Structure 1
Amino acid sequence: MAQATTAATGRRAADSRRARKAVIAGGIGNFIEWYDYGVYAALSPVLSKLFFPAADPVTSTLASFAVFGVGFVVRPLGGLFFGQLGDRRGRRTALGLALIMVSLSTFAMGLLPTYSQIGLFAPLLLVALRLIQGFSAGGEWTGSATLMVENAADGRRGWVASWQQFSVIVGQLAGILIVTVITNAWSEQVLRDWAWRLPFLVALALGAVGFYIRFRMEDTPHFQELQKRDIVAEAPTRESLRAQRRAMATAFLFVALPNVGFYTFLTYMPTFLNQEGGLPLSDAYTINLVGMAIYAVLTPVVGRLSDRFGRRPMLIAHAVGFLVLAFPIYLLLAQGSFALALAMQLPALLLMSLYAGPGTAAITEMFPTRLRYSALALPYNLSSALFGGTAPFVSTWLIATFHTPLAPAFYTMVVAVPTLVVYLRLRETAHEPLRDA
């Protein structure tokens, strides 16, 4: 009896160590990926003037966010490539390559000449680098989600997978934090002259550390089991499109609202508070920073709760909450009050955490190990391209077209409807083992 207890304790300890390694290895790439997104979005008022000079500030802002969205256009292609690679050669191989690509392209952005130096070639080079970043992002999120879920013990997948979304949030938080620091440390002129480059250049060192961590880790136990049984998929994307169509359609709508919420309430919010609320950029960044810190803390807590109470109740509350509260939240954010905008971060990001906690585990659990990377990558990245990458641009365009800062609220509410339908019809998977084949 004592030996059995000791063996069980040893297995739990080994499972816990493996999960921690997966969280670190998977999280480092997400951190860098969304660190860049946070830096780019936070610096968009500066980058729009450096790379897209125009007499009308709205035109410059639209151009800047259009380039932000360009990276999402190629994410489905990246998802196809990395999903195929990850299901055939292993998660570690695909994630290592994705990390190299995003680190080098982010670093290169910090070396770019501006429009005043080389004219039209400056925005073209910016677009090219955003395309590389977007392509690598197509394999990063789904690969790290797969890595973490497949290394987690049954009954703890929500907790472990929530750290995947935590790394996304902290990456953006770090990006916004460094922009906030340099914005407050130097004048706007110094920021435009050279200081804007600093956040991008940091990515090279981060990438080197991440690459080292990932290539020291073994592939997941579930993928290794497929290799032992010699049932690794030869054509995972083709097989997924044949056998997983319904689950893939569900996954596409599953992340529609979370994408809109993430890229408006977090990525776009400093620009919104500055342009529509009239707050100084430094105040807008500070509010965003506090909100993201709250979001980061809430996400693992909700993830752990989803292991106990299930994924569905929290996901449904996420969608219903945005249907009911999006309008009053945006109404109060646009009032131009620092205190009011800061206060509105809590309900908005509490609603976001109701997805961020259980969402990664829930969407990954839809698919079998044999096809998980490929089957998840395509719908997730298509939805991110359609709803996520376009959200800042669409929000800016809607406000300019309808002349109301409340336009993004209505957009959020419209997208919440199909996502809510999916959540209501979702099968609860929190208490089931992962399927391998």
Structure 2
Amino acid sequence: MPTHTELSGQSVRRSVSAAALGNIIEWFDYGIYSFAAATIGMHFFDVQEPSVAAVSSFAVFALSFLMRPIGGVVIGILGDRRGRRDMLMLTVGLMTAATVVIGVLPTYAQVGFLAPLLLTLTRLIQGFSAGGEYGGANIFMAEIATPNRRGFFASILESGVLVGYLGGAGIVVGLMSAMSSDAWQDWGWRIPFIASLPLGILALLLRRHLEDTPVFEKMKAAEEIAHSPLRDTFRRAPMPLFVTFLVVAYANGAYYLVLTFLPSYVQTEIGLSANASLMLSIVIMLILLVTIPLFGRLGDRVGRRKLMTLSVVVHIVVAIPAVMMFSSGDITLVYVAAVLLGIAMAPLASQYSAALTVLFPRSIRYTGFTLSFNVSTAIFGGSAPFIVGSLLASTGNNFVIAYFLILVSLLALIGIKLLPDNTGMSADHDVSMGALSQSKVHVTEASEKSLN
């Protein structure tokens, strides 16, 4: 029988499914919003040009990321004091409600300037909930996984990101293909947002029956709950905050650049058709969906730092040649360049959350990880399409894409060099990075057992 410090195989599988489904919903919304950006902009802003409408939509997209650090701190503190499971219920509920509301908002033609204000408000709510969702799900996963499978479990969460994004892209492409242009522009764009409701209800039902993590239950039983998680985070974990910030700058900067900005870029600047640009993004995501779990298993065997280093080095090397291939206008070269940039993300994407979450002591893990993760994401992730798009528009220099990618890659390389090798380390510890190499936080006999 499993004890309070060990979950059964069935509980682990149920927990993995519930955690991944929340990520799917979060990225389902991002996929819809990204691929329908031009349509949304035309409805909610007083603009006529699709390119201007898309930039306006991406500006709201970027603004919502400013709420992620706030959500990360608030939900993180509650997660360290009240438990991981309750916060995952809260985040998926807020995310689902805000996404559905976008589908029924009045447009600029109906209510004028209130339309962009209401759109921004819903995106801010989504940003707040997302601030606790992704980090919380990764912490939940890290604390239920055995150390020798933590990378694989983390890769499942990343796969959930792609499944959600693919679902959002797929429903947008499917509706645009099946409906007349007038019908899509008039009311069809609302359908994908409203369609997230059944997914949200399912996620709530699954998470309602979850047990909290053995790590948190053990901490609660020992009365080790932090009274001031935010203060303790800055006092006890400055290096984990710094390393996480650097690595996430690349992880999310590259992600949003490749999966959000590039589809719009190759359509508006290179001249690919809307369907061709959407198909390009879908191809990249399908490849990542296959490769990330494979790298997840590999990282548990060969170590996380090696795979993370591989990603950033490849991007530093290929960033400028890839932009040159984009500028050629040859559709084959455009596809090759985009796929290469996408595949290069897979090794780090499969490992970084597994490596970073356990840098933090268990009593402040939710607060510390979500704080650093979301501050970095707000600066380098969600803002990437808007920053790169604005620089491209003002300078006319296509190489700003490569320069941004190289910048975040170099930041991550510094973080990886500072990162201790914690591949086989248990998440059930209350020491911070810097003490990890001296501490004896090893894989326990119980944690070595397979949870098949």
For Structure 1 versus Structure 2, the TM-score category normalised by the shorter chain is over 0.9
CA distance in 2, matches of 1:42, 1:201: 16
TM-score, with normalisation over the residues of structure 1? 0.94
Q: Which runs of 5+ in 2 are unaligned?
A: 431-452
> What are the Cα deviations for residues 150-188 of structure 1, in whole angstroms up to 9, with x where unaligned?
110121110111111111111111111111111211232
CA distance in 2, matches of 1:50, 1:337: 33
> What are the Cα deviations for residues 319-362 of structure 1, in whole angstroms up to 9, with x where unaligned?
11111111122322344444333333432122111111111101
CA distance in 1, matches of 2:330, 2:110: 39
Q: Is the 8 A contact 1:311 1:428 kept in 2?
A: yes
Calculate the aligned-residue CA RMSD, in Å: 1.8
Q: Is the 8 A contact 1:276 1:334 kept in 2?
A: no
CA distance in 1, matches of 2:112, 2:41: 14
- When residues 42 and 124 of structure 1 are mapped into structure 2, their CA distance, relative to the original with a 3 A threshold, is same
Q: Is the 8 A contact 1:326 1:412 kept in 2?
A: yes
- What is the percentage of aligned positions where both structures have the same residue? 36
Choose which of 215, 223, 227 in structure 1 pairs with 2:216. 223
Matched, 1:273 2:248: no
Q: Is the 8 A contact 2:42 2:48 kept in 1?
A: no
Match of 1:59 in 2: 52
Matched, 1:309 2:319: no
Counterpart secondary structure, 2:122: helix
Match of 1:47 in 2: 40
Aligned ranges 1:28-39 → 2 under 5 Å:
28-39=21-32
Match of 2:373 in 1: 380
Q: Cα distance, 1:371 vs. partner?
A: 1.1
> What are the Cα deviations for residues 387-437 of structure 1, in whole angstroms up to 9, with x where unaligned?
011101012111111113332111111222121111122111102222422
Aligned ranges 1:10-409 → 2 under 5 Å:
15-409=8-402
CA distance in 2, matches of 1:249, 1:204: 37
Amino acid at match of 1:268: F
> What are the Cα deviations for residues 288-324 of structure 1, in whole angstroms up to 9, with x where unaligned?
1111011111111111111000010111111111111
CA distance in 2, matches of 1:17, 1:333: 47
Q: Is the 8 A contact 2:37 2:53 kept in 1?
A: no
CA distance in 1, matches of 2:8, 2:345: 29
Q: Which runs of 5+ in 1 are unaligned?
A: 1-6
Counterpart secondary structure, 1:348: helix
CA distance in 2, matches of 1:162, 1:204: 25
- When residues 197 and 57 of structure 1 are mapped into structure 2, their CA distance, relative to the original with a 3 A threshold, is closer
More helix by percentage? 1
> What are the Cα deviations for residues 185-217 of structure 1, in whole angstroms up to 9, with x where unaligned?
123222110110011001111111000000101
CA distance in 2, matches of 1:334, 1:106: 36
Q: Is the 8 A contact 1:145 1:161 kept in 2?
A: yes
> What are the Cα deviations for residues 77-114 of structure 1, in whole angstroms up to 9, with x where unaligned?
10011101111111110110111100000000000111
Indicate the larger mover: 55-64 or 200-209: 55-64
CA distance in 1, matches of 2:323, 2:161: 24
Q: Cα distance, 1:118 vs. partner?
A: 1.2
Q: Cα distance, 1:17 vs. partner?
A: 2.8
Q: Cα distance, 1:53 vs. partner?
A: 3.2
Q: Is the 8 A contact 1:48 1:60 kept in 2?
A: yes
- When residues 418 and 367 of structure 1 are mapped into structure 2, their CA distance, relative to the original with a 3 A threshold, is same
> What are the Cα deviations for residues 246-276 of structure 1, in whole angstroms up to 9, with x where unaligned?
2111111111011111101001222111111
CA distance in 1, matches of 2:95, 2:330: 37
Q: Cα distance, 1:133 vs. partner?
A: 0.2
CA distance in 1, matches of 2:10, 2:327: 46
Amino acid at match of 1:247: P
CA distance in 2, matches of 1:105, 1:88: 26
Amino acid at match of 1:387: F
CA distance in 1, matches of 2:389, 2:161: 24
- When residues 24 and 291 of structure 1 are mapped into structure 2, their CA distance, relative to the original with a 3 A threshold, is same
> What are the Cα deviations for residues 94-148 of structure 1, in whole angstroms up to 9, with x where unaligned?
1101111000000000001111111111111000000000000000001000111
- When residues 280 and 26 of structure 1 are mapped into structure 2, their CA distance, relative to the original with a 3 A threshold, is same
Number of paired residues? 429
Counterpart secondary structure, 1:409: helix
Q: Cα distance, 1:15 vs. partner?
A: 4.6
